Amino acid sequence: MKRIRFLALALAAALAFSPLGGCASSSPGGPAAGQDGAWRPERSMELQYAKNFAVDYYRGGYALISISDGSRYLVVPQGQQVPEEIGEDVVVLQQPVENLYLVATSTMCLFDALDSLQSIRLSGSRAEDWYIENAKEAMERGEILYAGKYNAPDYELILSNSCSLAIENTMINHSPEVKEKLEELGVPVLVEQSSFESHPLGRTEWIKLYGVLLGKEEEAQRLFDTQAAYLEELASEENTGKTVAFFYISSSGYAVARKSGDYVTKMIELAGGNYIFENLGDPEKATSTVTLEMEQFYATAKDADYIIYNSTIGGELSSLDELTAKCGLLADFRAVQNGNVWCTDKNLFQETTQLGLMISDIHQMLVQGDDGPGELHYMYKLR
């Protein structure tokens, strides 16, 4: 909340003293101007969990998006005029925002949930890399084209499709020349920051930002509220005291576990469990996983009450035998001996819109296991 308040105050100050604040739109329905000519927001978006973006609204339907990396985007409604003297740091996005180049894979599900895949023309992932069926099918039909990875985009294809915005993930920071080239060619770039949200539903709440871009704010709010409701149902539940290990075994035989404090471990805590590793990984580093030699992993994780095996990298498992075949030491784990081993579906990390439901799944695993009211949505038990 403090982060959002800071963003809002900083945004108001920037508007008041930047070139954007020095002019009002010549359109009758343009943003309201005070006596000093500065634009004044009529209201700001209410955010419950997200800390890395803010939105301020102005008369006439204009919206200014501010992102934690310092980027600002002025969303101009269809039919409204673009202000003539906005600040050089403000990127103008004229609605409808279409022919997008989507590289941030965690964002595709947000567009799918908003029934807006038609706004995406280009993808940074191939059809076979999507677990979101609508996205895969759209690519197979040629409605969405593969335009190269974040570090090797097909500039000619991007330009020939009149791309109005590239949505990148933070990997683009490792190839700054690509971002510069896109902007040089007239393609604005939005670097998605939801991966820095510490609360799981902070990631889901980014759907509200895309609701602003697409003119679907009410639908975005409804979808977010649905996920928040799952968490509210668990608010009065006590911690179960049960411990959970979340990991996968690499092709080299190492255990790759989530870093303590990462959003997945936060999901376990919100579900009423405790992540087995209390202080794993460097909190100052942006990486979300830690690679451990099996002996080091075994020393702590062997006593976990539950195992959730992450199938995203190595693929889904079908049995406990298949799990222990990856490493014989796993047979000695308490969770394996007690039959408390679960495996995630492959699409777990492409379903940002369903994090509330995933937390509910973990809670059911901890409290009811096989005796729950039905099958879990994003995990299944290994036998």
Which residues contact residue 168 at a Cβ distance below 8 angstroms, ignoring those fewer than 6 apart?
103, 104, 124, 150, 179, 189, 190, 191, 192
Structure-model confidence comparison of residues 190 and 7, the more confident one:
190
pLDDT of residue 292: 94
Report yes or no on 229 lying in a domain.
no
- Mean pLDDT within 164-190: 97
Least confident of 15-24, 125-134, 157-166, 293-302: 15-24
> How is 120-179 classified by DSSP, letter by letter?
EEEESS-GGG---HHHHHHHHTTSSEE---TTS--HHHHHHTT---EEE-GGGGG-HHHH
The string of pLDDT tens digits covering residues 188-234 is 999 999 999 989 999 999 999 999 999 999 999 999 999 999 999 99
Residues 351 and 280 in one domain: yes
Report yes or no on 313 lying in a domain.
yes
**Contact (Cβ atoms closer than 8 angstroms) between residue 306 and residue 366:** yes
pLDDT band at 18 (very low <50, low <70, confident <90, very high): very low
Domain boundary among 170, 196, 222: 196
Q: Which domain holds residue 300?
A: 237-381
Taking 60 as the threshold, does the pLDDT of residue 315 lie above it?
Answer: yes
Which residues contact residue 46 at a Cβ distance below 8 angstroms, ignoring those fewer than 6 apart?
none
> How is 198-228 classified by DSSP, letter by letter?
SSHHHHHTTHHHHHHHHT-HHHHHHHHHHHH
Residues 169 and 255 in one domain: no
Report yes or no on 7 lying in a domain.
no
Residues 248 and 190 in one domain: no
What's the total number of domains in the chain? 2
Domain boundary among 138, 165, 196: 196
Report yes or no on 69 lying in a domain.
no
Residues 353 and 244 in one domain: yes
pLDDT of residue 208: 99
pLDDT of residue 373: 56
Taking 60 as the threshold, does the pLDDT of residue 9 lie above it?
Answer: no
pLDDT of residue 86: 80
Residues 257 and 368 in one domain: yes
Helix (H, G, I), strand (E, B) or coil at 274: strand
Report yes or no on 204 lying in a domain.
no
Mean pLDDT, all residues of the chain: 88
Residues 181 and 295 in one domain: no
Report yes or no on 72 lying in a domain.
no
Q: Indicate which CATH number applies to the domain containing 171.
A: 3.40.50.1980
pLDDT of residue 40: 83
**Among candidates 41, 38, 77, 83, which has minimal Cα distance to 59?**
41
Taking 70 as the threshold, does the pLDDT of residue 51 lie above it?
Answer: yes
pTM over 0.85: yes
15 half-sphere exposure, CB direction, 13 A CA radius: 28
The string of pLDDT tens digits covering residues 267-287 is 999 999 999 999 887 777 778
Query: What is the percent of the chain where pLDDT is above 70?
Result: 89
Report yes or no on 211 lying in a domain.
no
Report yes or no on 312 lying in a domain.
yes
Residues 243 and 376 in one domain: yes
Residues 267 and 343 in one domain: yes
Residues 161 and 267 in one domain: no
pLDDT of residue 297: 94
Domain boundary among 163, 196, 229: 196
